Structure 1
Amino acid sequence: MDFAWSPEQIELREQARQVAADAVERFGRHNDSWINGFSKDFAKEMAALGWIGLTWPTEFGGQGRPPVDRLIIGEELIAAGAPIAAMWFADRQMGPTLIAYGRDDQQAEFLPGMLSGDTTWCIGMSEPNAGSDLASLVTSARRDGDEWVINGQKIWTSFGDVADYIYLICRTSSDGPPHQGISEIIVPMDTPGIEVRPIKDMTTNQHFCEVFFTDVRVPLPNLVGVEGNAFKQTMRQLEHERGGIDRLVSNRALFQLACDRADTSDPRVRQEIARLESAYRIGRILVTREVLGQAPTGFSAATKCFCTEHEIEVAEFVARVYGADATVWNDVVHGLLYAPGYTIMGGTSNIMRNILGERVLGLPREPRA
């Protein structure tokens, strides 16, 4: 198999590298920048380049470019720490979901704002008692005339305090198995009855938020897809979320800093750098298979598991290289403290292994005692 990049792809990568470097110069470098680096201004610059909706079909306002082009651009932007968070969820997840499941009027209303970088979206999935097990969610939406009335709570909702819309996963029926009765509804964040409480973590980030819904009313047409049968839609969203380049290169910049600082006269250090670089390249192959649609259904769980655990190993290497300096607060240490989140966000590694074993490999469940 030929793993070489085409001349056009090499040129695109160089362009993306220059754009990323310029963005870091103006907006600063951000660890895990697709979730920590928030800039509406840069989102609009991305839109002007045509880099939002790059792979979306042209009839929906996208560029219709190959998925590998988005991988190249995303890799360079995230590896450098450019602030792409204001547009990333919409580009990665919400836009493709609306294209796949939304009605014509929904696509016409919401896609242009995503493509222009004007609207930021958050995702209302996890709840205090329904993290990786989304089928346990209880946030409800009941019909009342021509409106949905929403009550409940979401947690770990990134950008809940700055988003224009929340793409809400909720329960519209309690009948049948837990996976049934789940629906997806678009809710403007300025709707009365919504309360957002940012959560500050130990790195001082506060993009995670609690979102409370108290008799929040939105029109019935804000439902996306089939009422009560959206669990498959949500799982498709998670395929977009778990198998992307953002799960591999979030702390790539720290790795480069550590390589520059490391004592490479020590063969053990050289061996560790080689091992991490090899793992990075394996992860890129896994991600490439995902974006090209060559991976088995559900295999994004394995891709996320491998890539995010690699990021943890990178963080441990960086900490060893920096030694005592890794105890002094700066942007490098910020990235090291953030590292435990890599294997939690988007589903824990334990859950990913369960998905891989049960849904991909078809392994039997261990009988309970």
Structure 2
Amino acid sequence: MNIPDYPILRTDDEHTGLRHEVRSFLDGALTNLPASERARSWIGFDADFSAELGKRGWLGMTLPKEYGGQGRSPIERHIVVEELLAAGAPVAAHWIADRQSAPVILNYGTEAQRHEILPRIAAGTCFFGIGMSEPGSGSDLASARTRAEKIQGGFLLNGTKLWTTYAHKADYMIVFCRTGASESRHGGFSQMLVDMSLPGIRVSPVLDIAGEHHFNEVSFTDVELPEDALLGEEGQGWAQVMSELAFERSGPDRFLSSFVLIGELLRCLEGQGGQIAASELGRMTARLMVLRQMSLSVAGRLAQKEDPVLASSVIKDLGATLEQDIPEIARRILAPVAQDPAYAATFQRIVLSAPSFSLRGGTREILRGIIARGLGLR
């Protein structure tokens, strides 16, 4: 079997200083934000908060300085992201752009696009949507039917994307689409950089189980794209999107989505003790620490221009499992009807969100197929 390697990465005193700086800022910035709202974390949209992070140099951290970034290490970025998620900061406005769209544009965009868009991402003022899933084609991206046909001076885009988080707020979307025929199931795809203000684009809300609007269905009807909308090489979209998914699937957001509930649980348990609680919390902490080390290791491999598709899929699968286990662990330790309104509201928020944890970024079934193939099991 091809077991993925997770080299040990450690932080030093300089990283500790950065962590304390971010934590101190968040202590003040989130003082009045209740735990039930902080439990929304990377679904919480606050453009002003994202712009403030940009001013502090905490977005676009690994981008080269010539494109408005900070030229800092992936470990430093990982530390900032950890602190934001652990505190339940509202990061949705900049999240997609900073996490995966910026690396795609850096690797495949034109010089003009890099100089125009990347500084705005680093400033927290340019927002992106993900154009991958479609009706009838969720995690199975190879069945995508959205098509961009060549026309004079560019491409004509037609099709529909679904579950596009905050597309109604996005300035751009990177759209995975067919641009040609291929005998290979994974061939004939490309990625397009789409300006969301173009004519022919319709964004329709899709409410989640809590009745909230962050998902959307986006329809493209004869949308005319310029030639430079093509990112990278035509027909190489599958390889490019797999590299993009390594960024999407390996970060701390894949195991910290329920973290605010842990904080509320510990607050309610303070002074109570109990063998069952200690045992459950110990196992949960061990799982968190392992996932954190795995995520840090993938960050290091991405910095070396590696393509850790297998490793990131393992993290995403294990992380989603833990995130969904946390409300169940909390239920066993402390009944959700406990006389603490803040805990009860946070618990309810996480319970409603939990089913999506094993769907977003690739379903559990698709991920386990990737893992099995990567390990040589099928």
| TM bin (shorter chain) | over 0.9
Query: How do 1:285-364 residues align onto structure 2 when only pairs under 5 Å count?
Result: 285-293=293-301, 297-325=309-337, 330-358=345-373, 360-364=374-378
Paired residue secondary structure (2:38): coil
Instruction: For 1:214-233, list aligned pairs within 5 A.
Output: 214-233=221-240
Partners of 2:189 and 2:235 within 8 A in 1: yes
Instruction: Note the C-alpha offset of 1:226.
Output: 0.6
The structure-2 alpha-carbon separation of the partners of 1:107 and 1:165, relative to structure 1 and needing over 3 Å to count, comes to same
Q: Is the deviation greater in 23-32 or in 81-90?
A: 23-32
Cα distance change of structure 1 residues 48 and 137 upon mapping to structure 2, 3 Å threshold: same
Unaligned runs of 5+ in 1: 365-369
Unpaired runs of 5+ residues, structure 2, are 1-6
Q: Once the two structures are superposed, what CA deviation does each residue of 1:19-57 show, in whole Å capped at 9, x if it has no partner? A: 2223322555432412x1111101110110111110112
CA distance in 1, matches of 2:97, 2:338: 35
Rounded to whole Å, the distance in 1 between the matches of 2:290 and 2:16 is 20
- Structure 1 counterpart of 2:349, one-letter code: H
1:31 and 2:39 aligned: yes
Q: Within 5 A, what are the aligned runs for 1:146-157?
A: 146-157=153-164
Output the CA distance in 2 between the equivalents of 1:2 and 1:304.
19
**1:6 counterpart (12, 27, 39):** 12
Instruction: For residue 2 of structure 1, report the CA deviation from its aligned partner.
Output: 8.1
Give the AA of the match of 1:237: E
Matches for 1:1-369 after TM superposition, within 5 Å: 5-25=11-31, 29-34=37-42, 36-262=43-269, 264-293=272-301, 297-325=309-337, 330-358=345-373, 360-364=374-378
**How many angstroms apart in 1 are the aligned matches of 2:198 and 2:333?**
49
Query: Structure 1 residue runs of 4+, over 4 Å off?
Result: 1-4, 294-297, 326-329
Instruction: Output the CA distance in 1 between the equivalents of 2:331 and 2:225.
Output: 48
> How far apart in 2 are the matches of 1:331 and 1:316?
13
Q: Which amino acid aligns with 1:347?
A: G
Cα distance in structure 1, aligned partners of 2:314 and 2:112: 36
* Contact 1:251–1:311 (8 Å) recurs in 2: yes
2:243–2:309 Cα contact (<8 Å) kept: no
Q: Is the 1:127–1:155 Cα contact (8 Å) retained in structure 2?
A: yes
C-alpha deviation, 1:162, in angstroms: 0.9
Identity of aligned residues (%): 36
Equivalent AA in structure 2 for residue 201 of structure 1 = D
Query: 2:290 is aligned with what amino acid?
Result: I
TM-score, with normalisation over the residues of structure 2?
0.90
Q: Which has the higher contact order (CA 8 A, sep 6+)?
A: 2
Q: Displacement of 1:324 after TM fit?
A: 4.5
Aligned CA RMSD, in angstroms, stands at 2.1
Superposed displacement of residue 320, structure 1: 3.3
| Structure 1 residue identity aligned to 2:16 | I
- Kept after mapping to 2: 8 A contact 1:46/1:52: yes
TM norm structure 1 = 0.92
Q: How many residues align?
A: 362
